[in-house]
Structure 1
Amino acid sequence: MDKSRRKKRQFNIEQESKEEKEHFKFPLDMEDTAEKKHVSDDTPMQSSSRRPLKDYKKDKYSYTIQKAREIPSAIHGMNKKTNRTEIKREDYPDDYEELDSLDNISSVIIRDIVKERNRKKQKANERARKEALRLEREKKRYDDPYSLKSSRQVLTSKSKQTEEMPVKEQTEQHEENKADEKKTAVHETEQPVVRHAEKRRGPSFTLPSLHMLGPGQKKGYDVLGKDTEAAVVKAFEAIGVPASVHKYKSNGIIGRFEMKLDRNFRISHVSRLKEYLLPHLPFDDVRVVAPIIGTSNIGLEVPVPSPEPIPFSTLFDRSSLKLRRNDYKYVIGKTVDDQIFSYELSKSGHILVYGGSDKDARNVIEQLMVSMFMNHTPYEFKVFFASDDKEKYQEYLDMPYLFGESKELSDPDVLKVVYDELIERQNQFRRAHVRNINSFNQRVGYDSKKSVMTVVIDDFTSLYNMNNTEAAKMVGQILKKGKPLGIHLIIRHGITDERIRYDLLQMVQTRISFFDDKESVIEGSAAITEGNDVLVQIPTSNKPVRVNAGTLSKEAKGRIFGHITAHKF
C-alpha cells in the first residue's frame, strides 16, 4: 500500500482524548453544573459521566441524590399532605347528594371506592324500607285475617266521622285528603306497583280431610281358626298328597293358604289338584296358584266364611295416597296377601272394566274417582260422563270436577267436547315442542296448565248396538292419542256375551275383569268368585293380580261430596 495513504488513515488520538465526549444524562437531578465549572483540572473527576478514581467517598464533589423526581401516587396523587392518617370521616359522604364534595379528593381510586360504598348503602336502605313496608302489611293482615273489616265498612265509618264533624273541620279534612291523594299519586308515578290480572286460584280450594272417610277395617279379619287349618291338611291327606300349612294371609274377603308340599310332587299335577281337593274342602270354591312368586310353595285361595268388608278409609290410610301427593294415584282394593293395590293414572292409560254387575262395576269406578277427589283440585282433574242412565252418576253432576254436561250414548255428539279438547291439546303441544302433558305443564304458567281428564263411558256395548258410528270413531281416536295428552278413557263393558273388538282391546293398557267363563279379556278370570272379586292386568306386569275392591259408605260419600260442592268456582 502507498505510504501516503497510510498517513491519511492515522487517527489523532491525543486530540480526541482532549475533546469532551457526549454522555448520557442521568435522569435524576445532580449537583449544580455551575459548581462543577470551578473544579480544577487536577481533580480526579474529569467528566460528569465517570466515577472518581481515588477516594470518591471522601470527595466533596461525589455524585449524591439531592432530590427525587416527583412521581404522582396512584392513591394519594401529587398532594403530599393527604396521607392515610390525614383522611377524615367528612371526606366520605353517605348519600348521592354529597358526591360533589368528592372533587376535593385528588385520588381517582378513593373517589370510585366512595361512590361504590354509597351505592351499596343506598341499596341497603331501600331494602330496609321495603322490608318495613312488607312487615307492616303482614301485621295488618294478621290483625284481620278473614278481612272482617271490608272496604265498605271503612268507607261508612269515614262518612259517619265526617258527618259528626263541623263544617270547618270537614273542609280541612277534605283538603288533607286531597293532599294525601296527591302524595300517593306522586309515589305511584315514581314507583309503579305491578298488579297481577288474575289471582292464583289453586290454594283457595281445600281438599277433603281424612276423618271424612270414616272408620277403618275391624281387627281380627286375618285370624285363622285351628279347625279350618286341620281340615285343609286332611283334604291333602285324603288325596294322597302330604302337605302342611306354611302361612296364611287374608284381606277379610279372600284367604290364601300357603302349602308346603313334598319335594317329589310334580308341578304338572297341580292343575288337577282342584278337582280332587274341592270335594274334601269345607269351601264352595277354591283357586290354586302354583307356584307362589318367590317361593316353591303353592297357594290355595278360598273365600272367607264370614267376610269383613274393606272400607275405603283403610285403603287410603295404608297406601301412599295419605301423603296427599300430586301424582294422580288411585286405589281399588286389597290383594289376597293383604296388600293395598294402588297405581298411577298416567301409567294406566285407558282402563277397561269388563263384566260384573252394575253395582260392583260402579264400586270400582267410584274408588278411582274418590281417590282423585281426595288429592287433586278441580283445576288439576276433570271428569266427563257418557251414560244413558242419568241416575247412576247423578251425585257427580253438581261437582266442580265435571268437564261439560253429560250426554247420552245415543247422541252422535256425545264425545264432541272431549274430541275438540283432544285436537286443541294436540295443536298446543306441537307448538310448544312437547309430547306429553307433564312437559307442557312444566313450560307454561299456572293459569295455562292442562288438567288430567277421565272420560267414563257406561255402557260400551250400548254404544255399538245403537250404531253410533261418529262416537265410535271418536273413541278410536281418543284411544290412540289421548294417553300422552292427559285424556284417559274408563270404559265399562257389562255384557260379557258380546265380545269387545280386538283392535280396541289392544289399545287399552289396563284391564279389570270380573268373573268371566270365557276369559275373553284376562286369562284366569273363570277361577275367581262372583261379586266383589276382580283380576287386574296392568301394563308393567305379565301376570294379573287378584284384588278385592273396597267400599265407600253413603255417610262418607255425603261428607266428601258436600265439602267439595260447598266451594264455589
Structure 2
Amino acid sequence: MVTLKSKTEGFFSQKKEVWTVLFLCIFVFLAASLFSYHPTDPSFNSVSSSKEVQNLTGLVGSYTSDFLFQTFGLSAYIILALLLFFRRGWLKSFGFLLLIVFTAGFFSLLLKTITLQDQKLLAGGITGHVLISFLHPYFNTTGTYIVILCGFFMTLITTLNFSFVSSLHFIFRGIPTIFSNLTFPNIWRLIRNRFKWPFRKKASKPKVVTYETKIPEDLVYEDDPEDINEDTPPQGSEAIEYEADEPEEALGEEKLEYEEDELDENDEGIEYDAPDEILPEQEPVIVDTQANLRKKKKSSLSFEYFKTKGNFKLPSLKMLADPENETDVFVDKETLLENSSILEQKLKDFNIEGNVVQVRPGPVITVYEFQPAAGIKVSRIVNLADDLSLALSALSVRIVAPIPGKNVVGIELPNDHRHIISLKEILLNNEFRSLKYRLPLALGKSISGEPCISDLARMPHLLVAGATGSGKSVFINSIISSFLFRYTPEQLRFIMIDPKMLELSMYDRIPHLLLPVVTDPKKAALALKWGVEEMEKRYTIMSKISVRNIDSYNKKIETASKAELEAIFEKEIAEDGTFEIPDQLPYVVIVIDELADLMMVASKDVEISIARLTQMARAAGIHLLVATQRPSVDVLTGLIKANFPARISFQTSTKVDSRTILDTIGAEKLLGSGDMLFLKPGTSRLVRIHGAYVSDAEIKDVVDFLKEQGEPNYNEEILTEQHEDVDFDFTEEDESLYEEAVQLVSKMKYASISMIQRRLRIGYNRAARMIEQMEAEGIVGPQDGAKPREVLVSKHP
C-alpha cells in the first residue's frame, strides 16, 4: 500500500478526529448526567432550595437529565446506545428518532410508571404516554402492542441494518465458534460484525492515487522540428511522490485505527482465528486518472523530421481540431462510492460476498475492481452482468473476470459524460512520435485514459469487424490519417478497395495511391493478385542482396555503391539491357473497407490472395487492413482468420458475431461509437480501447493539402490481367474441330463448354480446352459465374 502525500489527506484526517472527539464527549456527558440524576436538583419542573447540585455534570446536567427522563422515560438510556450508531444524513436521523419514540411507547405500555430516586416518573416519558394515549382507543391493548413492536423492529432493521437471518446465523454458527475460540477479541469481533458500524464507513475519505502520462493539456504550437528529440524513448506513466507504509500498516490506516482498540494489552501474543465468513470492510481506492492532464507540455505540430528527400511536405497537425479539455470533466467521487456500494449490495443479494477495492474512472467508462470472498466462483459473477446493468440503470455492463495479474474482477460501467477522444491528442503523444514504431497505429485511449499505439509492421496485418454504425469507418480514417501525417509517398503507398464507393472515395488522387480507389470487386481481386506478385518480386530481389526484410533492403540500397549493386545484378543486366537497379522500396498498405462484398463476387480469388499475403508479405513490407460489418463464417473463413493474429472488434449485434471475430464473447457488451476490443498478436487477452475521432472536414483539409503537393503516380498495370501462354498441342483433328468451334461461337454470340459438347459431339475435357484456348486468344471473355462467356469478336478470320 502507498500513502499519498497531499494536503487533502491531512484535512480529512483532522475532520475525522474532530467528529470522533465530539461524539465521545457528548456520550460521556449524557451518561454521567443520566446515571447521576437526582430529583432534588433544579430542573424545568422543580425549584430546589439546596445550593449544591448533586448531578455530576452540574446544573446543565441536571436540566438535561430531567428533560430526557420527563420526555422519553427509560428510552433516555437508549439514546446513549444510539449515539454509537449515529450516521449523518436526515434519513438516518429520522430513523433514530422513530426508534426512540417506539421504545418510549413500549416502556409506557409495559411499565406505566417507574420509581427513580424515590420519585415516580412515566416509564416512557411524555412521548410514550402521548403515543399510547393516541393508539389505545383505536387498537386496544393487544393491537397497540402489535403496532408498537412492528414499528420498533422496522426502524431497527432500516436504521441499524439489523437482520434476523444474520442473527439466527450468528446463534447457530457464531456461538459454537465463540466457545471453540473463547477469547475476548473473537467474541467482540463476532458481535461487532452483526451490525454495520457507521463510523467504519465514515472514518476517512478514500485515498486518491494519481499518476500521469505525457498528454498535453494546453498545446504550445512550435513548428521548429529541432525542438523534438528523435532519440528520446517514449515515456510511460509517471507516478507522483509517494512513500511506502511500514509492514505493520499494510492493512490500511482505517483498519488499524479501530482494531488496535479491540485488543487488550494482556492479549498480546495470543493466537486466534477469525471466522472465515467475515470480510473486512474498507473504502475503495479511487484512482485519479485525470491527473495526467494537469501539466503543460510543449509539442511540435509537424513530423518533418521523418522526411527523407525531395520537396514533399507533410501536413501539419494544425489541420486537426484541438482536443477537449479533460480537466473540465469532474469525477464525482460520491457517485463512484455510491455505485461501489450498490455493486456490493447487489452481489450480496445473490450470495456473493466481497468488496470493491479500487475504482478507476476513465474517459468513457469506469472500472470497479471487485474482490470476491474465498470460495466464490468467477462464473457466478460473470453471469450477473444483466442484473447489475438493471440495478445501476446502465446502458451496458461488461465484466472482466478476472483482471489479468490481479485477484479482482473488473466491472466496467459507462460514464454519464463521455469524453470525445481527438486524433490530435494521440498524434501529439511522444510514444507515437518515437522511431521504434515502423508503422504506428493511433488506436485511441485505454479505459484509464492512456494513449494506445501499436505497430502494424509487427502485427503484421489487422482485421476489423463490427456492426453498422459502431465506428469502423471512423477508425479506418484515423489509421489512414495517422499514416498521412508521418510518411511521404516515397516511404508509404496505398491500395484502397472500397466496394461501397463512399468511405474511401475522399482519398482519391492523393500522391500516396498506387492506383485510383478500387470500387469494382472484380478489379479488387486483380489488385490483390498484383500484391501477391509484388511480394514474390520483392523476395526475389531481397534474396539477391541477401537481406531478410524491407528495412534491411532499404539500408543496403542506401549505403551500397553503384558498382556493388551492378555486381549483384550482373546476370539480370546481361540478360536484359534495359534492366534498372531497384531503388528503395516503400511500404504498401492495402486497405479493404468491406470484405463481404468481395467474397460475394470473387470469393475464391480473394480468399487465396489474402491468405498468401497474410502468410508471407510481412518481410516484403506489404500489410493488409481489412474491415467488414458482417463477421460471419462465410466471410471470415478459417483460412482468412487464421492468418490475422491481430483483430479488433467493435460493437456486434450478437454473441455469435463476437465469437467469430475474437473467438470469445464480449463485443456485444460494448457501447458503440468507437468502443472496441483489441486482440493483440500472440495473446488471447482482450484490451478495451476507445477509438480516436477524426471528422470529415479534418480529412478534407489533409487531403486537399496533399493534392497540392503533386499528382499521383498510378501503376495502371496493377489492374491489367496477365494471361499465360496456352499451348494445348492440338492434333490435326483437334485443329479442325477448334476452327469449327470458333465459327460456332461467333455465330451463336455466346460460348459455353456444354454447347461445344453438344454441337461437336466431343467430350467435356476437349471442349474445355477449346474454350480456354479461345479465352487465351481473346476470342471469348472470362467466365462470369454461371453465365455463358461473352464473345469478343464478331467474325473469326
TM score, norm. by length of structure 1: 0.60
**CA drift at 1:324:** 7.0
Q: Cα 1:371–1:314, aligned 2, differ >3 Å: closer, same or farther?
A: same
Q: Cα 1:293–1:477, aligned 2, differ >3 Å: closer, same or farther?
A: closer
Pairs within 5 Å for 1:69-108 = none
User: Larger % of helix: which?
Assistant: 2
CA contact (8 A) 1:461 1:498 kept: no
Task: Give CA deviations for 1:149-204 in whole Å, capped at 9, x if unaligned.
Answer: xxxxxxxxxxxxxxxxxxxxxxxxxxxxxxxxxxxxxxxxxxxxxxxxxxx97252
CA contact (8 A) 1:381 1:452 kept: yes
In structure 2, give the amino acid aligned to 1:397. Answer: D
Q: Cα 1:222–1:287, aligned 2, differ >3 Å: closer, same or farther?
A: farther
Task: Give CA deviations for 1:266-324 in whole Å, capped at 9, x if unaligned.
Answer: 44532234254333223131111223233322221112222121111122223512457
1:211 corresponding residue in structure 2:
318
What secondary structure does 1:545 align onto? strand
Pairs within 5 Å for 1:134-173 = none
In structure 2, give the amino acid aligned to 1:441. Answer: N
Pair member with larger Rg:
1
Match among 516, 523, 541 for residue 428 of structure 1: 541
Give, in whole Å, the separation in 2 of the partners of 1:312 and 1:251: 17
Q: Cα 1:222–1:565, aligned 2, differ >3 Å: closer, same or farther?
A: farther
1:529 aligned onto 2:671: yes
Give, in whole Å, the separation in 2 of the partners of 1:440 and 1:485: 10
1:507 aligned onto 2:643: yes
Give, in whole Å, the separation in 2 of the partners of 1:566 and 1:325: 30
For this pair of structures, how many residues does the alignment match?
370
Q: Cα 1:312–1:222, aligned 2, differ >3 Å: closer, same or farther?
A: farther
What secondary structure does 1:346 align onto? coil
Q: Cα 1:282–1:319, aligned 2, differ >3 Å: closer, same or farther?
A: farther
The runs of 5 or more residues in structure 1 that have no matched partner are 1-199
**CA drift at 1:414:** 3.6
Give, in whole Å, the separation in 1 of the partners of 2:395 and 2:441: 32
Give, in whole Å, the separation in 2 of the partners of 1:261 and 1:359: 33
Q: Cα 1:266–1:298, aligned 2, differ >3 Å: closer, same or farther?
A: same
CA contact (8 A) 2:468 2:629 kept: yes
CA contact (8 A) 2:542 2:549 kept: yes
Give, in whole Å, the separation in 2 of the partners of 1:224 and 1:243: 23
1:564 corresponding residue in structure 2:
706
CA contact (8 A) 1:351 1:491 kept: yes
Give, in whole Å, the separation in 1 of the partners of 2:709 and 2:442: 25
Task: Give CA deviations for 1:318-369 in whole Å, capped at 9, x if unaligned.
Answer: 3512457772211111111222111111111111111232671111111211
Give, in whole Å, the separation in 2 of the partners of 1:214 and 1:530: 22
Q: Cα 1:256–1:424, aligned 2, differ >3 Å: closer, same or farther?
A: same
1:545 corresponding residue in structure 2:
687
Q: Cα 1:252–1:480, aligned 2, differ >3 Å: closer, same or farther?
A: same
1:451 corresponding residue in structure 2:
586
Give, in whole Å, the separation in 2 of the partners of 1:358 and 1:418: 30
Give, in whole Å, the separation in 2 of the partners of 1:201 and 1:310: 31
Q: Cα 1:208–1:326, aligned 2, differ >3 Å: closer, same or farther?
A: farther
1:409 corresponding residue in structure 2:
521
Give, in whole Å, the separation in 1 of the partners of 2:676 and 2:437: 27
Q: Cα 1:453–1:258, aligned 2, differ >3 Å: closer, same or farther?
A: same
What secondary structure does 1:296 align onto? coil
CA contact (8 A) 1:237 1:243 kept: no
1:309 corresponding residue in structure 2:
420
What secondary structure does 1:484 align onto? coil
CA contact (8 A) 1:325 1:375 kept: no
What secondary structure does 2:509 align onto? coil
In structure 1, give the amino acid aligned to 2:492. Answer: F
Q: Cα 1:387–1:278, aligned 2, differ >3 Å: closer, same or farther?
A: closer
**CA drift at 1:506:** 0.6
User: Percent of pairs identical after alignment?
Assistant: 18
2:740 corresponding residue in structure 1:
none
In structure 2, give the amino acid aligned to 1:371. Answer: S
CA contact (8 A) 1:221 1:251 kept: no
Match among 328, 339, 346 for residue 450 of structure 2: 339
Match among 345, 349, 366 for residue 477 of structure 2: 366
Give, in whole Å, the separation in 2 of the partners of 1:490 and 1:460: 10
Kindly report the root-mean-square deviation, in angstroms, between the aligned alpha carbons of the 2 structures.
2.6
1:479 corresponding residue in structure 2:
614
Pairs within 5 Å for 1:264-275 = 265-275=376-386
CA contact (8 A) 1:326 1:375 kept: no
Q: Cα 1:493–1:558, aligned 2, differ >3 Å: closer, same or farther?
A: closer
Task: Give CA deviations for 1:235-275 in whole Å, capped at 9, x if unaligned.
Answer: 42144245554433344222212234445644453223425
Q: Cα 1:449–1:207, aligned 2, differ >3 Å: closer, same or farther?
A: same
What secondary structure does 1:285 align onto? coil
Give, in whole Å, the separation in 2 of the partners of 1:468 and 1:294: 42
In structure 2, give the amino acid aligned to 1:285. Answer: S
**CA drift at 1:487:** 0.5
Task: Give CA deviations for 1:35-73 in whole Å, capped at 9, x if unaligned.
Answer: xxxxxxxxxxxxxxxxxxxxxxxxxxxxxxxxxxxxxxx
Give, in whole Å, the separation in 2 of the partners of 1:358 and 1:276: 27
In structure 1, give the amino acid aligned to 2:545. Answer: A
Pairs within 5 Å for 1:217-228 = 217-219=324-326, 220-221=328-329, 223-228=331-336
Match among 435, 460, 466 for residue 601 of structure 2: 466
Pairs within 5 Å for 1:348-363 = 348-357=459-468, 360-363=471-474
In structure 2, give the amino acid aligned to 1:512. Answer: I
2:490 corresponding residue in structure 1:
379
CA contact (8 A) 1:319 1:342 kept: no
**CA drift at 1:468:** 5.0
Deviating 4+ runs (over 6 angstroms): none
**CA drift at 1:536:** 0.8
CA contact (8 A) 1:251 1:334 kept: no
CA contact (8 A) 1:212 1:560 kept: yes
**CA drift at 1:208:** 2.1
Give, in whole Å, the separation in 1 of the partners of 2:686 and 2:343: 28
Q: Cα 1:566–1:295, aligned 2, differ >3 Å: closer, same or farther?
A: same
1:49 corresponding residue in structure 2:
none
Q: Cα 1:468–1:364, aligned 2, differ >3 Å: closer, same or farther?
A: same
Q: Cα 1:425–1:333, aligned 2, differ >3 Å: closer, same or farther?
A: same
Give, in whole Å, the separation in 2 of the partners of 1:449 and 1:492: 29
CA contact (8 A) 2:632 2:660 kept: no
What secondary structure does 2:369 align onto? strand
What secondary structure does 2:660 align onto? coil
Pairs within 5 Å for 1:436-447 = 436-445=549-558
What secondary structure does 1:247 align onto? strand
1:234 corresponding residue in structure 2:
342
Match among 407, 410, 414 for residue 296 of structure 1: 407
In structure 1, give the amino acid aligned to 2:650. Answer: F
The runs of 5 or more residues in structure 2 that have no matched partner are 1-306, 560-581, 712-797
CA contact (8 A) 1:311 1:552 kept: yes
Give the number of the structure with larger relative contact order, counting CA–CA contacts within 8 Å between residues 6 or more apart.
1
In structure 2, give the amino acid aligned to 1:410. Answer: K
**CA drift at 1:422:** 1.9
CA contact (8 A) 1:352 1:510 kept: yes
In structure 2, give the amino acid aligned to 1:477. Answer: R
In structure 1, give the amino acid aligned to 2:313. Answer: T
Give, in whole Å, the separation in 2 of the partners of 1:359 and 1:399: 27
Q: Cα 1:473–1:207, aligned 2, differ >3 Å: closer, same or farther?
A: same
**CA drift at 1:440:** 1.0
Q: Which moved more, 1:366-375 or 1:272-281?
A: 272-281
